[in-house]
């Protein structure tokens, strides 16, 4: 009986030990949860874009992959241009060219980043030559300017032009676009840049056209009381107040009470056969140009009743043919030259 009790106690102890072992530090822990997905790499496409004009656009896309290399969708990407003066990019990755140069477009998501290069190099598609229409006197010069533009009509800066004349016997042009009228006629002046030409017809007019045009500009011709014929294609002898001789040169210029407002241009001194200059009763101001003392055929000079100022040129005394000089009611100072 006592032996049976000993066996029962031993069995109980073994069961207790087994139970304690099953509930101790040796219990198996639950599995570790996977790392959350995060952007690891970004690939921007296309990797390189070239624009040939300002104002062009290109759509970039960004492919985002996680740390396992799998494509992620719905990830917000922030777009940035390193040079907004060359190209801009909006929130959707649309790039717009702004000016010649290079820029890097970067896409960012979290710690991941990707980039693409953008180059803007305008290509000349057209050239405009100004002024249009263009006109110059024989023996005079006219400055032409040229402007190149790209396919979108934006100016191509720093364009280099080559100038040429269709008939150098009528007019020549130098490397800067300065036209020199030779004889009366019409010529085509061409400016070429990057193999693209632009042209303008240039009329070479009578030598006296230029001085008259200078007066019209300096004395505000559009507000004259009478300017019939002025700055038209009619012969200058048909312009109001202009008289010409048999060879077409101006012999008399009489614009009295015509509301001439401005100054007397020095170019009038090139009217080599002028005998009469009458600009009385107007609103002219400024000095008497010294160039008028070169008009050796001048017989009558009437500039009275104007707001002219400055010294009376003493050189007027050298005009041997001058018989009639009227400078009354002006603000001129000095002595009337002796006869």
Strand partners, 190: 164, 199
* Average pLDDT of span 288-309: 98
Percentage of the chain surpassing pLDDT 90? 87
- Residue 207's nearest CA partner among 275, 138, 263, 152 is 138
Report pLDDT for 2: 45
**Which tens digits make up the pLDDT trace of 146-166?**
999 999 999 999 999 999 999
CB atoms within 10 A of CB 149: 20
Where in the chain are the domains? Answer: 39-120, 126-205, 208-326
CATH 1.10.645.10 fits 126-205, yes or no: no
* Average pLDDT of span 56-72: 97
Strand partners, 163: 191
Q: What is the dihedral of CA 18, 24, 28, 34, to 10 degrees?
A: 170
**Which tens digits make up the pLDDT trace of 6-29?**
444 344 444 444 444 444 455 677
Task: Specify the DSSP class assigned to residue 67.
Answer: T
Percentage of the chain surpassing pLDDT 70? 92
CATH code that applies to domain 208-326: 3.80.10.10
C-alpha to C-alpha distance for 226 and 282, rounded to whole angstroms: 12
Contacts of 178 (CB under 8 A, 6+ apart): 141, 142, 143, 144
Fold agreement (39-120, 126-205): yes
- Residue 67's nearest CA partner among 44, 34, 33, 107 is 34
C-alpha to C-alpha distance for 295 and 240, rounded to whole angstroms: 21
On the question of pLDDT at 215 being above 60, the answer is: yes
Report pLDDT for 35: 77
CATH code that applies to domain 39-120: 2.60.40.1080
Radius of gyration of the chain (CA): 44
Tokens for 21, please give them: 């072992």
């Amino acid at each position: 009986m006592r032996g049976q009790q000993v066996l029962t106690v031993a069995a109980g102890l073994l069961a207790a030990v087994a139970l304690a072992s099953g509930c101790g530090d040796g219990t198996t822990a639950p599995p570790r949860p996977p790392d959350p997905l995060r952007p690891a790499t970004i690939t921007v496409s296309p990797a390189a874009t070239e624009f040939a004009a300002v104002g062009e656009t290109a759509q970039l896309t960004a492919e985002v992959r996680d740390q396992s290399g799998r494509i992620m969708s719905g990830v917000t990407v922030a777009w940035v241009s390193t040079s907004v003066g060359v190209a801009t990019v909006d929130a959707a990755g649309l790039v717009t060219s702004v000016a010649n140069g290079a820029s890097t477009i970067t896409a960012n998501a979290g710690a991941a980043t990707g980039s693409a290069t953008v180059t803007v190099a305008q290509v000349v598609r057209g050239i405009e030559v100004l002024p249009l229409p263009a006109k110059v006197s024989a023996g005079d010069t006219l400055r032409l300017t040229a402007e190149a533009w790209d396919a979108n009509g934006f100016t191509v800066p720093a364009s280099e032009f080559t100038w040429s004349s269709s008939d150098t016997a009528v007019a020549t042009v130098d490397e800067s676009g300065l036209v020199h009228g030779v004889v009366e006629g019409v010529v085509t002046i061409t400016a070429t840049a990057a193999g693209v030409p632009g042209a303008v017809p240039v009329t070479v007019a009578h030598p006296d056209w230029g001085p008259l045009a200078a007066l019209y500009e300096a004395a505000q011709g559009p507000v004259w009381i009478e300017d019939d014929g002025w700055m038209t294609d009619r012969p200058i002898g048909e312009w109001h107040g202009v008289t010409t001789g048999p060879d077409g040169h101006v012999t008399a210029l009489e614009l009295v009470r015509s509301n001439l407002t401005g100054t007397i241009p020095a170019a009038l001194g090139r009217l080599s056969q002028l005998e009469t200059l009458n600009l009385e009763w107007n609103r002219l101001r400024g000095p008497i140009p010294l160039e008028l003392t070169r008009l050796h055929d001048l017989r009558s000079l009437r500039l009275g009743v104007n707001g002219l100022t400055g010294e009376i040129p003493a050189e007027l005394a050298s005009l041997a043919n001058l018989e009639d000089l009227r400078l009354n009611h002006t603000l001129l100072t000095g002595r009337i030259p002796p006869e």
